[in-house]
Structure 1
């Protein structure tokens, strides 16, 4: 898993993503979260540490960790923040990798992503 995270970070750097150029976290220290637009026209990512620590860069690490705890670490079981969204098709793909996590999902648009995942991918 560590090699994948390092490769994912290396792949983001040429695009100017806001991911620090550091070694990948140990599996028990964090999860690399990414969000990308249709056909990877843009991409951003960060490492979420749970429990949140001072080195974290997620703007709502406590909320994201609480949501993941509530879902027992299952990204498909996140309660999200249900709210109405348009049917506009502007796909957004998210990934979560680290430790035992290797998850990827494409949502119809950013609003649907937010409604389904709550604070986890709000960065």
Structure 2
């Protein structure tokens, strides 16, 4: 038995295939919005921040703006100290508050910053918000996670 498709039937099949692909695209795009594996969306906001986020920009470029970065850990990327930050998070089971305090001497300057992280670590949600008296105290308490402005 031989089947032949007319031009109209072929056009109908092509339209149906295009419709199936178009319906699948939003589902795929939604799946791509959140990175797979371990990831954290990080922001550091000075107390007197101006509106807007300056992604991954060094503090010296615009110290009055919120700075942000997306830290990915498989493989480590997202900021200059990503490998160090991912290792610290791994040792603390993804809990930023459990990163060991680094011994350092910070100036007694009142320049508050709020560090925020949202994402997932080993399949568990991460939500972290803490205000520190200045950048130095934040770095001493959170390790490399929020210090993407400098190299290891």
TM-score scaled by structure 2?
A: 0.59
1:49 aligns with 2:58: no
CA distance in 1, matches of 2:33, 2:103: 32
How far residue 80 of structure 1 moved from its aligned partner, in angstroms, is 4.1
Q: Superposition RMSD on alpha carbons, in Å?
A: 1.8
What residue is the counterpart of 1:108 in the other structure?
133
Q: CA deviation at 1:58?
A: 1.0
Q: Size of the alignment, in residue pairs?
A: 99
- Note the C-alpha offset of 1:77: 0.6
CA distance in structure 1 between the aligned counterparts of 2:69 and 2:139, rounded to whole angstroms: 17
Query: Deviation per CA, 1:52-89, whole angstroms, max 9, x where unpaired?
Result: 35xx3210111000000111111111114320112211
1:40: Cα distance to partner?
2.6
CA distance 1:91–1:30, shift in 2 (3 Å): same
Once the two structures are TM-superposed, the CA of residue 39 in structure 1 deviates from its matched residue by 3.4
Q: Distance in 2 between matches of 1:91 and 1:48?
A: 23
The reply on whether 1:25 has 2:34 as its aligned counterpart is: yes
Q: Which runs of 4+ in 1 moved over 2 A?
A: 23-29
How far the C-alpha of 1:26 sits from its partner, in A, is 3.1
Q: Please list every run of 5 or more consecutive structure 2 residues that lacks an aligned counterpart in the other structure.
A: 1-31, 51-64
3-state secondary structure, aligned to 2:116: strand
Q: Greater Rg, structure 1 or structure 2? A: 2
Distance 1:43 1:51, change over 3 A: same
Inter-partner Cα distance in structure 2 for 1:40 and 1:120? 20
Does the CA contact (< 8 Å) of 2:41 and 2:71 recur in 1?
yes
CA distance in 1, matches of 2:38, 2:94: 14
